[in-house]
Structure 1
Amino acid sequence: MSDLLERLRTELPAEALITDPDVTASYAHDMASFCAAGTPAVVVLPRTVEQVQHVMRTATALRVPVVPQGARTGLSGAANASDGCIVLSLVKMDRILEISPVDRIAVVEPGVVNAVLSRAVNAHGLYYPPDPSSWETCTIGGNIGTASGGLCCVKYGVTAEYVLGLDVVLADGRLLTTGRRTAKGVAGYDLTRLLVGSEGSLGIIVKAVLALKPQPPQQLVLAAEFPSAATACDAVCRIMERGHTPSLLELMDRTTVRAVNELASMGLPETTEALLLCAFDTPDPAADLAAVGALCTAAGATEVVPADDPAESELLLQARRMSLTALEAVTSATMIDDVCVPRSRLGAMLEGTAAIAEEYGLTIGVCSHAGDGNTHPVVCFDHTDPDESRRARESFDAIMALGLELGGTITGEHGVGVLKKEWLARELGETGIALQRSIKAAFDPLGLLNPGKLF
């Protein structure tokens, strides 16, 4: 420990090192339940690429593991510390280095908060679409590390589709530049896409070149009430089958709607079994909403209410954004699942999740990026009750098994981390895991970067 600190101090300012155990403990884990976390030896908050390189050279020399972190809003334990590690928190590297309206790119450091970047590019008439629910606090580096999504993915896609290039500090301290600033480019293997979603296991992202889009018109939202999850999912299938491209298509079940009302008195209709929100940011959103409203009615909607203006639309979106927070307030602990299935199987996924909730005697609310088939079942439980905690974990596993049975994946946007290591092996199979491990070994032969995550 003394040797580690002595070496780190040779090229790091005193304020970049945190050794107080009470403070370092607060950096030990992200927001996931049931994920083991160790005790870090030190927390480092670098401000420059050179400081990150110094940390990695020191770690390599002393064979000390390094756990990179953003804002720790993750939900899979990917940012959890291991015993004796260096926690490398990148939140101080928070500069927007460039915004180019001509090239339609932004160049940023990893600690830039998603909402801060969004507002900055909006001022130039541009738009950075990926918008996770935690967009007011999560960082771009964390978004890239977990390949995060958000509400707008049904039209605009996920984080991976906006990362053009990266600067990455490798395990031995070398600096790797991947990708490009150009609109097109196919030179060599696509290391950029490989690094997106790698959860800090291959390198430390220190700069990103991000693609931007022209800022779309303000969107209008429609809310449709359904007597069952099945009829709501039927509406989703009809909307997508007819070729509509909403800017978002979100679903909240009855449990979620009631939780949001309880938390914020939003006045959402508690008599509904499923509430579908659909938005368009097209030149004539009212016409698009009318067409979708007719499809919802044909699928069995009991009421269809289009918003009159952007302010009313934003209120509905705010209700959806607070869904996870509202469900967390239902009880003392939650496990947030992240299973994505083909859109055509969305109804079966929601019905199966309801059956699992009944089988295990638990409250499980579901909010969903319905246009993508990405569901977020939230298992609510009392963490002080051993039996209820056991049932919560078992129900979580049952939900993931259901997703795979329906042709889906164990994670659409939250990542694997610690929480889903076993399930990653089941999804990828023996050959897939072996190949992933060989890629890890090529980037990090000593296994120092975020050990114990993914596999």
Structure 2
Amino acid sequence: MFEIEQREIINVPENIKNILRKEIGEYKVLDDDMDRLLYSYDATRIKMLPSVVVIPETEEEVRKVVSICYQEGIPVTPRGAGSGYTGGALPVKGGVLVSFEKMDRILEIDEENAVARVQPGVVTYKLQQEVEKRGLFYPPDPASYKFCTIGGNVAENAGGPRCVKYGVTREYVMELNTVIYSGEIIHTGRPTLKDVAGYDITRVLIGSEGTLGLFTEITLKLIPKPKASKTVKAIFSDIASVGKTVKDIFKAGISPSALEFMDKLAINAVEDFGHFGLPRDAEVLLLIEVDGHPKALEEEIVEVARICELNGASVEIAQTDREAENLWTARRSLSPAVSKLGRVKINEDIVFPRSYLPEALPQLRDIGKRYNLKMVNFGHIGDGNVHANFMISGLDPDELKRTEKAVEEVFDLALKYGGSITGEHGVGITKASFMKKMFKPKEIEIMRGIKSVFDPEGLINPGKMGL
């Protein structure tokens, strides 16, 4: 799992670099060692050097890059902000890496139809700010929302805390412009709420991790901005009670806009990182947000607090927006905070059906204990998406072997309960070997067939998802 397979590296010949420079522009084609290094890694910290980095500014330039590379047998790897945790933006076979950092314009916000048209390099937070000025709302909010991009979100079908109520990225993608292997631009979807004509190719492209084509324009559905929100902080003495609380909240007919948990190690890591005032002696902390009409919120938040207390929690309701924002800033600080607990962070984002959480969560915690590893658990417990993090030195062979076995048990546990090996990070290269655990051979064969239709020569983001 922790070793990357031997790979064939394809370098871009000088004559092809010159063609790219002529067609795209001299300053948009980078091949010196420093530029290549800067685009060689993502949040996995694995480094894979591209032969050339191309930074297009228009859809037509993307089309030219793909067309030239495909004709010459050169791999093309799309890249957003490089914030992914599974190596999806790494140029596994070298070749050309296409960075969308300059295609970062919001093309249109149509208030009447509640849609936004954007280029793939638009930062998620920037879009959210712009639409909220107009009383609209774009809910998907991955932890990296202040720097990740819409194109990357679509490629990974990104989630976040709010997806428990509002759904993940795919629920908001209405149209896509995608450059495929031939250099042609295909348009999928419609800017309408209903469309059942033909196969849903848009859904096939969402979550495909950039392996089928390169997105150049995205139309997103927007919804009315919630009028208000309230946040509860609940402190528990055991993890099983947290799982039961989650079940009870939904059974009560309440749909939280976010429902997040942190275990003791996570809480203390956040406090060391930012001093947010979280209780260091708490075994588990649950953050619950409800949003909607102010009058309805008062009843819902009281009921949420009551359910938490019935399950043994100590409860506080944030009294001001500032208090609530402090709690959510603490939650969003988890990833960098936890990274300080070890030289290497193995971050798995498994998913359980909610009904199994009381039974599954204690077993998950025990995996770390059984292998004598520092294991930090947190995540989007409202939709069953748990981030299991193993913090290791990465230098001890025995520790690496124990971690590999522990990770495999984590995946086995999720699959045992009908869950998934990934809820939002994707498969990329780090989870590719586990695809056969989750899917039957025929199912993987079908996926490979889809890949071959969009990418007959296997040159579009090759080496990902085990396909």
| TM tier, smaller | over 0.9
SS in 2 for 1:219: strand
Mapped partners of 1:23, 1:391: distance in 2: 37
Whether contact under 8 Å (1:171, 1:443) holds in the other structure is yes
Equivalent in the alignment of 1:310: 321
Deviation string, structure 1 residues 255-292 (Cα, Å, up to 9, x no partner): 11011011111110122111111111122323211101
Equivalent in the alignment of 1:24: 36
Equivalent in the alignment of 1:181: 191
Mapped partners of 1:453, 1:393: distance in 2: 20
Mapped partners of 1:260, 1:84: distance in 2: 37
Mapped partners of 1:389, 1:120: distance in 2: 45
2:449 is the alignment partner of 1:441: no
SS in 1 for 2:250: helix
Q: How far off is 1:426 after superposition?
A: 1.6
Mapped partners of 1:213, 1:95: distance in 2: 21
Equivalent in the alignment of 2:439: 428
Equivalent in the alignment of 1:157: 167
2:59 corresponds, among 43, 49, 57, to 49
Equivalent in the alignment of 1:328: 339
- TM-score between both structures, scaled by the size of structure 2: 0.95
Whether contact under 8 Å (1:254, 1:274) holds in the other structure is yes
2:290 is the alignment partner of 1:280: yes
Whether contact under 8 Å (2:21, 2:28) holds in the other structure is no
Aligned positions, number: 452
Mapped partners of 1:91, 1:390: distance in 2: 38
Mapped partners of 1:222, 1:157: distance in 2: 21
1:81 corresponds, among 88, 91, 97, to 91
2:417 is the alignment partner of 1:406: yes
SS in 1 for 2:260: strand
Q: Structure 1 residues 72-81 or 349-358, which shifts more?
A: 349-358
For 1:115-130, what aligned pairs fall within 5 Å after superposition? 115-130=125-140
2:23 corresponds, among 2, 5, 11, to 11
Deviation string, structure 1 residues 61-98 (Cα, Å, up to 9, x no partner): 11001111100000111111123310011111000000
Runs of at least 4 residues of structure 1 off by over 3 A? none
Mapped partners of 2:66, 2:414: distance in 1: 38
Mapped partners of 2:133, 2:266: distance in 1: 34
Mapped partners of 2:164, 2:365: distance in 1: 24
* AA of the residue aligned to 1:419: T
Mapped partners of 1:393, 1:264: distance in 2: 31
Cα RMSD of the aligned pairs, angstroms, is 1.2
Q: How far off is 1:32 after superposition?
A: 1.8
Measured at CA, do residues 4 and 82 of structure 1 come closer, stay the same or move farther in structure 2, by a change above 3 Å? farther
* AA of the residue aligned to 2:27: E
Structure 1: runs of 5 or more not aligned: none
Whether contact under 8 Å (1:41, 1:83) holds in the other structure is no
Mapped partners of 1:307, 1:259: distance in 2: 22
* AA of the residue aligned to 1:408: G
Q: Structure 1 residues 438-447 or 2-11, which shifts more?
A: 2-11
Equivalent in the alignment of 1:289: 301
Q: How far off is 1:324 after superposition?
A: 1.4
Whether contact under 8 Å (2:93, 2:463) holds in the other structure is no
Whether contact under 8 Å (1:163, 1:208) holds in the other structure is yes
2:246 is the alignment partner of 1:236: yes
Whether contact under 8 Å (2:365, 2:377) holds in the other structure is no
Q: How far off is 1:400 after superposition?
A: 1.2
Equivalent in the alignment of 2:151: 141
Mapped partners of 1:311, 1:4: distance in 2: 55
Structure 2: runs of 5 or more not aligned: 1-12
Q: How far off is 1:409 after superposition?
A: 0.4
2:167 is the alignment partner of 1:170: no
Q: How far off is 1:29 after superposition?
A: 2.3
For 1:188-199, what aligned pairs fall within 5 Å after superposition? 188-199=198-209
Mapped partners of 1:336, 1:166: distance in 2: 30
Whether contact under 8 Å (2:179, 2:213) holds in the other structure is yes
2:341 is the alignment partner of 1:298: no
Deviation string, structure 1 residues 116-144 (Cα, Å, up to 9, x no partner): 00001011110000000000000000000
- TM-score between both structures, scaled by the size of structure 1: 0.97
Whether contact under 8 Å (2:77, 2:461) holds in the other structure is yes
1:266 corresponds, among 257, 266, 276, to 276
Whether contact under 8 Å (1:220, 1:280) holds in the other structure is yes
Mapped partners of 1:343, 1:447: distance in 2: 38
Equivalent in the alignment of 1:40: 50
For 1:185-224, what aligned pairs fall within 5 Å after superposition? 185-224=195-234
